[in-house]
Structure 1
Amino acid sequence: MTGLLETIRAHAEVNPHGIALEPIVSDRVTWRDLAERVTQVAADLCEGAQSGKPHVLRLDHGVEASVLELALLEAGIPVLSLPSFFTDEQVRHAVSACGAGDDCPTTPHPAPSLLPRLTARVTFTSGSTGTPKGVCLSARHMLAVAASVVEALGTGHAGRHCALLPPGILLEAVAGFFATMLAGGTYVCPPQREAGLGDPFRPDFGTMVSRLAEWRITSLILVPEYLAGLVALLERTGQCLPDLTLVAVGGAQVPVELLKRARALGLPVRQGYGLTECGSVVSLEGAEEDVEGSVGRPLGHVRATIAPDGEILLDGEMYLGTVGEPRAPGPLATGDIGRIDDHGRLWVDGRKTAMIVTSYGRNISPEWVEAALLAQPEIAQALVHGDGAPAPDALLVPASADADLFKAIAAANRTLPAYARVNAWREVAPFTPANGMLTGNGRLRRKAIARTWLDGEPAFFDELEAATWRHRLRFLTIPQVRAGLAGTISQRTYLDYLTQAYHHVRHTVPLMQAARARLLERPELVSALDEYIEEETGHEEWILADIAAAGGDADRARTCRPNPATQAMVDHAYARIGNGNAACFFGMVYVLESVSVALAQRGASAVAANLGLPPEAFTYLTSHGALDQDHMAFFAALVNGLDAQEDREAITGMAREMFALFGAMFASIAMEDQHVAA
């Protein structure tokens, strides 16, 4: 028996009807019920377990995932915890490396790699490639870290902890879930969509704040991106979260200016530091600290020292090794540069391998300059580079459609010494786990970003995403789009959307045929259009079937006139194809397919849950979304092969225009009786 189940049983003895788990969307679970469920599920798991074979866990937050996590720990069965944002390639690699193929039928079943003895959890760090590294942790180690967190904080914070980080993230599992179980608090574990995190890398902070207030949440673990979004919304709206007693922030360095803004709003923010190999938590700021920027004192399970070259070294409770490779003896070299002050506080100054040495001989930590950039509300993401150059340069992602990056750069440079000021910058598309440029907890994958944007000329598809990012952001501010993605639309609005979709989708194949007729001398484009035509033929009939299944009048939808905005979009497409470079059609493809992926992945399930409609009412969105994911990969390869500048300009121009016209179509749909998410 693990110490954790013993603790849960002790809570059940003292407070049997106290709430241990609160999933929001289903019944709450008492301590007594939790102890009984974990005991039973652990016994069932032991009966069917294969020795040493890990159990693949890839569930959304909720009672099922929580009970299973505890039961597997109790049963001594290793858990292969996979975040939902892992790519199919990363999932296949992780499952195959651990020999857990039976839990993923489409994966080959090689002989399992040896996991170190006592492995309780295998966590695959995101890494910079499709073959991430599997770190093996023992139950004793994870519970020691959780106990250290509780000891450092005291049980006074064991109120209502809400899981916001994506499922499968070790930091939330250890410092959030396990620590709450040890301390006797309530673990609030709603599905991510309920907390505004249907897409964890594009949070709906309005929904998040309203839910945190409604659920009376007292503690959170955030990555810096989530903290920045919460702070910006609270500053803009004047809302507050008075029930919070602890907001722990980790995963990446937090700009000091952001900490100051958060604390000015009354948020009880404490910065932490950790690594997967150390069970996710190494240090945490104390409540009494009067300086900003340190990551606090190391917790009881670990010791920190500084190497002669400034690298942070850690010793104490550590990981067992990686899949197929035992841990080397001695302290863990973190790769982070830092220092320990006279009060025992740890400061992280940057990454050892990312250090920039300018042509003037000045050493610059890119994280330092990035922190100054990210302190500016106009900048969502930043990567600083320029080793060997006279001064650092930056890649920037704007935070809004109207962000003034010139102003933001000037403001950031005023906070930096002359040698560290940003000299030149380039606006790029967002760094995300989906494109391989961001880890799950928000760290930049610098090598992957450099391969895309710095090592030679970027691919045209990446340039297209960057050139249209502001237009996409403006599209996403349209109330009807936001409500659709959140699922907060009425049945009438959904039927009106389908009707307008029918009136533009029925022109898809004729538009393709018009483009094909003008591109006959371009066999590679004709071939692509032929594939698209075959795929898209008949899709307008899917929409009419959905209208009928959703309670609408399909015949009326077929014969009614489209909204003027819908007609304007269609007319513009015909005009551009007929009178200009017909390759511009692929700009329309980019907009419609990328938007339909988002609507299918986030909107369809949310609308279905809100309206209680059958799956037959969503065949266009769900099926089209799945097709378009494949289409986007095909599309990227196609446009990357277009070298002519006039083709690229035509596609980019059409994409920008279509974001505006498609947005106008959404804006023309009435929203008379539904709530629009804040």
Structure 2
Amino acid sequence: MATLPELLAARVAVQPDAPALKSPGGSMSIKDLYEAAVSVAASLKRHGVVRAGLCGDNTVAWVIADLACMIADVVCVPVPVFFSKSQTEHLIARAGLDGLLWAEPDTHRENLGHGVWLATLPVTAETSLMPEGTAKITFTSGSTGTPKGVCLSASQMAATTQALQQRLEGVELRHHLCILPLATLLENIAGVYLPLLMGAMVELAPLKDFGMSGSSGLDAPKLIGSLNRSAPDSVILVPELAALLVASAENSSLDPAPFRFLAVGGGKVSPELLARGRAAGLPLFEGYGLSECGSVVALNVPGDDRPGTVGRPLGHVRVGVDGGQQIRVSGNTHLGYLGDEPQGDEALGTGDLGELDADGFLSVNGRSKNLLITSFGRNVSPEWLESELIQAVGAAQAVVFGDGEPRPRALITVTDGRSPDELTIDLMRLNERLPDYARLEAVYIRRQPLNQAEGYLTANGRPVRSHIQSDLPSLLAKAFPLFTTPPLTSKPGASHMAFFDRLQQETAEAREHVTKAPVIRAIQEGRFDLESYTWFLTQAYHHVKHTVPLMMACGGRLPERMEFVRKALVEYIDEEYGHHEWILNDIAACGYDKEAVRHGNPDISIELMVSYLYDQINRCNPMAFFGMVQVLEGTSIELATPLGEQIQKLLQLPDEAFSYLYSHGALDQEHFEFFRNLMDDITDVEDQQDIIDSARMVYRLYGDMLHSIPLRTGREGQRHEAA
């Protein structure tokens, strides 16, 4: 079989002046691209490079270096831009690299010409076992975050490219835009090699120009604006980007007219999303693949399309489904993993569950290792339900769990501020169309996304399910629940909801008075200054100084039947004692007189809040105190640490000015789990209702304080009191 450089050389002979690459720096013909790659290949040979890492953003030099490695028989190892430092170091050591190729100059790099620079690396004594014939090693982060090297030959990559060309024979593509990193094998093969062989132009630009950052950072308006300006024929999308394009086409911010083919892969795609996209004029086509098979395995295309499937397998592979419903692929599988024994000739078990219909269309139903089995013995793919949730609710993230339970549950991230009532309607509609065994019993709503830094996501944005499962109690404590259907084990007429969950749900509307306070947006927009911060700390001091006295008053008024609550208050008091002095120290670190604050008066909202709580304890039900705990600790978990970091960056203050915000963001996560368990032990209906009523009142008064923080307006020097 011809190699990719040979196939490109054939294109040069036919149409040498055809545009091949377009970038902010100009255009390059197919002839100039090929000659540049040949020139850099010669330089690589002169330097004796054997295994080279290919680093950097989406640039013309990246493509030249990639092709040069193939021409020079140098093993190319793309380094994903979103890999962490430790992952990159692992990649370099594991692959035994002797050089790194860059598109940027540096004092420690040699110029190979055409914008490609070489940084040599020390030769290691040992290198990992690499199968003979390896041309490219593509590293995938996997579910644990430790990259794994997939070894591919030049013929395997050429076979995938030509099979794609054959499948797309009836689709005229002249202009492809790369918005995924070139180090992603899918974009590398289907976004560069394929368009070049088809005679199309590939447009490249740094990912930040399209609003992309890291593995999952996205400036949506910037991306949509870039797509409108570029007007490409084709783009490769992951499901999240596909959902964004559909929503943008529906609200007329994206012009769908130029697109001829939008490929979607990398995760489960809801058929409803595809239908919405088609109705909005977007030619969305789902496909399936994995690095071990040279990227694409199956693909829907115009004229040969079945929504709900990933299309028919490409002509260069054979696909089957074994007795365990696992998809197995043979015919063009990888040589093996770096460091392992070479891959044999047997069919590759993909780990994906699926089925082939009578017409040969392949469906993918999730990962076998992630399969949930309900207590009634029904199998549920979490990936399938997650894609349905993201589509139905517009969630930014979704993780389904519930192995061994009667029905699955889910943790989702919704960042657009929609109310619980709005979300409940969408969730109930979703449940209506799901089979009964897959209907979600409860969905827990987060406002802050799960992130890689905490270990909840892989580098490419997929959930690390084992870590999420182990931290599930604390994650659920920070979320508020929506119950969409009673559990199958409930007795008729019995309440199935734990009191903490009921407390979260019944105070959700009141909570919005806090979470939608203008100060939160003002911090993000830079309209929050030192006066704003110290005013907030002053109010915090005047309510935190009452926390321990309120606990003591509550404990003294509790009846004997609530002795377990009194014991919990002893632990609370020990934890909370002296925190008001921390706040005064923060105020002093801001350059303000802490003694003036100590002897001053609070805003009327805080005065009323504290007075209300003393009155409830002394005149009504002392359990009303825990309404304040619900508000203040829950608010700290959701807002304290992220807003504290933004404020510190904005005001350039030392760490000593943030002991209250930073400590309470971390401390209250532990407190809130303790609080959750305590509330679930409250069984008296009058106590429960009094706590709910108190929480609603405290949300109102504490929210009034946040709404009263003095903020800068957009005009320099002017201020306003937020209504």
TM-score (norm 1): 0.73
Distance verdict in 2 for CA 1:424–1:639, change over 3 Å:
closer
Counterpart AA for 2:61 = E
Q: Secondary structure at the match of 2:31?
A: helix
Distance verdict in 2 for CA 1:109–1:328, change over 3 Å:
closer
Choose from 282, 286, 291 the match for 1:276: 291
Quote the residue 2:234 is aligned against: 219
Distance verdict in 2 for CA 1:76–1:636, change over 3 Å:
farther
Deviation sequence 1:340-393 (CA, Å, 0-9, x none): 111111111222222222222222223333333233144332222222211121
Q: Does 1:411 align with 2:429?
A: yes
Counterpart AA for 1:154 = E
Distance verdict in 2 for CA 1:184–1:111, change over 3 Å:
same
Distance 1:225 1:303 in 2: 29
Distance 2:704 2:81 in 1: 31
Residue 336 of structure 1, CA deviation: 1.4
Quote the residue 1:449 is aligned against: 468
Quote the residue 1:11 is aligned against: 11
Q: Secondary structure at the match of 1:274?
A: strand
Quote the residue 2:552 is aligned against: none
Distance 1:47 1:624 in 2: 53
366-375 vs 37-46, which deviates more?
Answer: 366-375
Distance 2:16 2:520 in 1: 48
Distance 2:240 2:540 in 1: 41
Residue 415 of structure 1, CA deviation: 0.6
Choose from 91, 97, 101 the match for 1:100: 97
Distance 1:143 1:445 in 2: 33
Q: Does 1:36 align with 2:35?
A: yes
Quote the residue 1:354 is aligned against: 370
Q: Is the 8 A contact 1:252 1:442 kept in 2?
A: no
Q: Does 1:21 align with 2:54?
A: no
Counterpart AA for 1:447 = S
Quote the residue 2:439 is aligned against: 421
Q: Is the 8 A contact 2:523 2:647 kept in 1?
A: no
Q: Secondary structure at the match of 2:364?
A: strand
Distance verdict in 2 for CA 1:439–1:174, change over 3 Å:
farther
Structure 1 residues 511-660: aligned runs within 5 Å: 590-595=641-646
Distance 1:627 1:71 in 2: 53
Q: Does 1:162 align with 2:177?
A: yes
Q: Secondary structure at the match of 2:193?
A: helix
Residue 241 of structure 1, CA deviation: 1.9
185-194 vs 201-210, which deviates more?
Answer: 201-210
Distance 1:473 1:13 in 2: 63
Residue 475 of structure 1, CA deviation: 9.4
Q: Is the 8 A contact 2:529 2:711 kept in 1?
A: no
Choose from 140, 148, 152 the match for 2:167: 152
Distance 1:57 1:633 in 2: 40
Distance verdict in 2 for CA 1:640–1:573, change over 3 Å:
farther
Structure 1 residues 287-326: aligned runs within 5 Å: 287-289=302-304, 291-326=306-341
Quote the residue 1:560 is aligned against: none
Distance 2:298 2:13 in 1: 33
Quote the residue 2:137 is aligned against: 122
Q: Is the 8 A contact 1:378 1:399 kept in 2?
A: no
Distance 1:134 1:401 in 2: 41
Counterpart AA for 1:83 = P
Distance verdict in 2 for CA 1:586–1:420, change over 3 Å:
closer
Q: Is the 8 A contact 1:270 1:286 kept in 2?
A: yes
Q: Secondary structure at the match of 1:333?
A: strand
Counterpart AA for 1:360 = F
Residue 155 of structure 1, CA deviation: 7.4
Distance 1:35 1:457 in 2: 55
Distance verdict in 2 for CA 1:523–1:475, change over 3 Å:
closer
257-266 vs 34-43, which deviates more?
Answer: 34-43
Q: Does 1:176 align with 2:176?
A: no
Structure 1 residues 379-418: aligned runs within 5 Å: 379-398=395-414, 400-402=416-418, 404-418=422-436
Q: Secondary structure at the match of 2:176?
A: strand
Deviation sequence 1:405-445 (CA, Å, 0-9, x none): 21121011011122221112222343444444344555443
Q: Secondary structure at the match of 1:379?
A: coil
Distance 1:118 1:523 in 2: 65
Q: Secondary structure at the match of 2:92?
A: helix
Counterpart AA for 1:393 = R
Q: Does 1:70 align with 2:86?
A: no
Residue 160 of structure 1, CA deviation: 1.0
Residue 625 of structure 1, CA deviation: 13
Q: Is the 8 A contact 2:519 2:706 kept in 1?
A: no
Distance verdict in 2 for CA 1:237–1:516, change over 3 Å:
same
Residue 126 of structure 1, CA deviation: 1.7
Residue 192 of structure 1, CA deviation: 1.2
Q: Is the 8 A contact 2:95 2:128 kept in 1?
A: yes
Q: Secondary structure at the match of 1:277?
A: helix
Choose from 634, 647, 669 the match for 2:714: 669
Quote the residue 1:81 is aligned against: 78
Aligned-residue RMSD, C-alpha? 5.1
Quote the residue 2:562 is aligned against: none
Residue 106 of structure 1, CA deviation: 12
Distance verdict in 2 for CA 1:223–1:587, change over 3 Å:
closer
Q: Does 1:253 align with 2:250?
A: no
In structure 1, runs of 5+ residues without a counterpart are 485-496, 541-569, 601-619, 672-678
How many residues end up aligned between the 2 structures? 593
Distance verdict in 2 for CA 1:216–1:378, change over 3 Å:
closer
Deviation sequence 1:101-144 (CA, Å, 0-9, x none): 87599999673222222222222212222423221222221222
Q: Is the 8 A contact 1:460 1:639 kept in 2?
A: no
Q: Secondary structure at the match of 1:157?
A: coil
Distance 1:369 1:658 in 2: 39
In structure 2, runs of 5+ residues without a counterpart are 101-118, 481-503, 549-572, 593-601, 612-627, 680-694, 717-723
Quote the residue 1:338 is aligned against: 354
Counterpart AA for 1:591 = P
Q: Secondary structure at the match of 2:296?
A: coil
Q: Secondary structure at the match of 2:471?
A: helix
Q: Is the 8 A contact 2:519 2:709 kept in 1?
A: no
Residue 274 of structure 1, CA deviation: 0.6
Quote the residue 1:606 is aligned against: none
Counterpart AA for 2:4 = L
Q: Is the 8 A contact 1:163 1:220 kept in 2?
A: yes
Residue 245 of structure 1, CA deviation: 0.6
Quote the residue 2:692 is aligned against: none
Residue 263 of structure 1, CA deviation: 0.7
Residue 98 of structure 1, CA deviation: 2.0
Counterpart AA for 2:316 = H
Distance verdict in 2 for CA 1:413–1:218, change over 3 Å:
same
Q: Is the 8 A contact 1:320 1:326 kept in 2?
A: no
Q: Is the 8 A contact 1:378 1:408 kept in 2?
A: no
Structure 1 residues 459-538: aligned runs within 5 Å: none
Structure 1 residues 179-258: aligned runs within 5 Å: 179-198=194-213, 201-237=216-252, 239-258=254-273
Residue 167 of structure 1, CA deviation: 4.0
Distance verdict in 2 for CA 1:591–1:362, change over 3 Å:
closer
Q: Is the 8 A contact 1:223 1:249 kept in 2?
A: yes
Quote the residue 2:565 is aligned against: none
Q: Secondary structure at the match of 1:172?
A: helix
Distance verdict in 2 for CA 1:238–1:505, change over 3 Å:
closer
Distance 1:199 1:20 in 2: 27
Q: Is the 8 A contact 2:605 2:705 kept in 1?
A: no
369-378 vs 223-232, which deviates more?
Answer: 369-378
